[in-house]
A and B are shown apart, each in its own frame.
Chain A
Amino acid sequence: QQQVKQSPQSLIVQKGGISIINCAYENTAFDYFPWYQQFPGKGPALLIAIRPDVSEKKEGRFTISFNKSAKQFSLHIMDSQPGDSATYFCAALHSGTYKYIFGTGTRLKVLA
């Protein structure tokens, strides 16, 4: 119940294309869903986050889509650029526990 399942494990996209990464969870007590971006040699950095009372959130080229009934959420990267090549992690938090559960990560490569 504490798991967050992330797919795909790796993704190759052409420059200008759309990158889509999916996550699914079981615990309905989760109330905060962030996405993190990690470059080699660096710690993860918060990219965008959503709460379950919203179905979509957009920040620049990054959009989270959230489906509460299906217990799924996804990250869409529009107009993908080579600089977006990184590992992306979804996460889920039950605020009262102070404990983030992370997906296993998606390694994205955007071809120039």
Chain B
Amino acid sequence: KAGVTQTPRYLIKTRGQQVTLSCSPISGHRSVSWYQQTPGQGLQFLFEYFSETQRNKGNFPGRFSGRQFSNSRSEMNVSTLELGDSALYLCASSLVAGSDTQYFGPGTRLTVL
């Protein structure tokens, strides 16, 4: 079974631009969560989707948004990029969520210049 895939793997943007990251969960998994990973802060929860509905979100500004499609694939969007948005963005999928095992993708490394 294929793992969680994230595209693109690397991205360089400039301040003020917007970016869209994509995540394809493991086949059959319906829950997708997004995290921001930075050296100082560790993994910070962004949001979680299940059956196209956002069930929870973390403490990030409204510039960070996401969605999930009927095939469980998910995208996250960051508008008006700031230097501090440079990070590794990780997507994780699980069957339903809660305490189901989360399987992480390799992440998208975003650099904002």
Contact = CB atoms under 8 A, between A and B. Distances in A.
Interface stretch (A42-50, A65-73, A76-84): A42-50
Given A44-B90, A45-B104, A100-B102, A89 B42 contact: yes
Interface in A83-108: 89, 91, 93, 95-105
How many chain B residues sit at the interface, stated as a range, is: 20 to 34
Contacts, number: 62
B102 A97 contact: no
A102 B48 contact: no
Contacts of A32: 98-99
How many chain A residues sit at the interface, stated as a range, is: 20 to 34
Contacts of B90: 43-44
A47 B41 CA distance: 21
A98 B93 CA distance: 12
Interface stretch (B11-19, B50-58, B61-69, B76-84): B50-58
Interface of A: 6, 31-32, 34, 36, 41-46, 49, 51, 89, 91, 93, 95-105
Interface of B: 4, 31, 33, 35, 40-45, 48, 50, 55-56, 58, 90, 92, 97-99, 101-107
10 contacts: A31-B99, A32-B98, A43-B104, A51-B99, A89-B43, A93-B99, A95-B99, A97-B56, A100-B43, A104-B42
